[in-house]
Amino acid sequence: MRTILVCEDEASIRDFVVVNLTYAGYRVIEAASGEEALAMFDESVDMALLDIMLPGINGFEVCAELRKRSNTMGIIMLTARSREEEKVDALRLGADDYVTKPFSPSELMARVDALYRRVSAVRERSGPAEELQSGHFVLNVRNRTVSKAGVPLDLTQVEYQMMYLFFLHPGVPIERTEILRQVWGESYIGAEKIVDVNIRRLRMKIEDEPSDPRHICTVRGQGYQWNV
Ligand code: CA
């Protein structure tokens, strides 16, 4: 869930910001001081919205510390209209953007949403485990493709999803209802035949001997199992 850390000591402004972010679908972590914000920061935080004038350490210090902890999170500073130098300092210390007080809800949300799009795009690109390998097979998570001994396989998206599921659970049987749930979603529960049909087609594409499968094996009464 997209999560934003809000650090603002003035309760009325903080509430105003929190209400708008929550309404727009963000999970909000609230902090009334910089110390609190740093204590509350964890891996789940995608973005921070930081006021500059705070009771203890100021927003600039919080910004610099957060930037040390995460390169990919988004940081927006709340600056005062009259103080042009604040904006420059904010950007210099690693903030991505600033919003000048007083601001309207639509202005705030436009900045936050725009930054969230940038943050999530960057995180997708630099995400972990872009490729999964299993024997001669390589699955590319970014491109949603699978190759066998270096040769790209011509898979449908459903077939790719099944391969992905197998790659995550090699050597253990996966029940057909579980495959249905993971690949097709809850609404297909009860239609296990669809799994069998697609398994058969997938075997034609990936097995040397589809009638005597080595990789996608049937485990009687338990489902299908990926073997390398
Ligand atoms: Ca303040």
22-56 pLDDT per residue, tens: 999 999 999 999 999 999 998 889 999 999 999 99
CA of 80 to the centre of ligand 1 (A): 10
CA of 58 to the centre of ligand 1 (A): 9
CA of 113 to the centre of ligand 1 (A): 23
pLDDT value of position 79 = 87
pLDDT value of position 157 = 86
CA of 33 to the centre of ligand 1 (A): 9
d(CA 155, CA 146): 8
d(CA 77, CA 99): 6
Q: Domains along the chain?
A: 3-124 (3.40.50.2300), 126-226 (1.10.10.10)
CB 172 within 8 A of CB 181: no
CA of 44 to the centre of ligand 1 (A): 25
Q: What is the pLDDT of residues 192-213, one digit of tens each?
A: 889 999 999 999 999 999 999 9
CA of 13 to the centre of ligand 1 (A): 9
CA of 116 to the centre of ligand 1 (A): 23
CA of 53 to the centre of ligand 1 (A): 4
d(CA 186, CA 173): 20
CA–CA distance from 179 to each of 2, 57, 134 (Å)?
Answer: 27, 51, 19
Question: Residue holding tokens 């204590």?
Answer: 39
Q: What is the pLDDT of residues 151-195, one digit of tens each?
A: 999 999 889 999 999 998 888 899 999 899 888 887 777 788 899
CA of 62 to the centre of ligand 1 (A): 13
Neighbours of ion ligand 1 (CB under 5 A): 9, 51, 53
Give the mean model confidence (pLDDT) for residues 85-93: 83
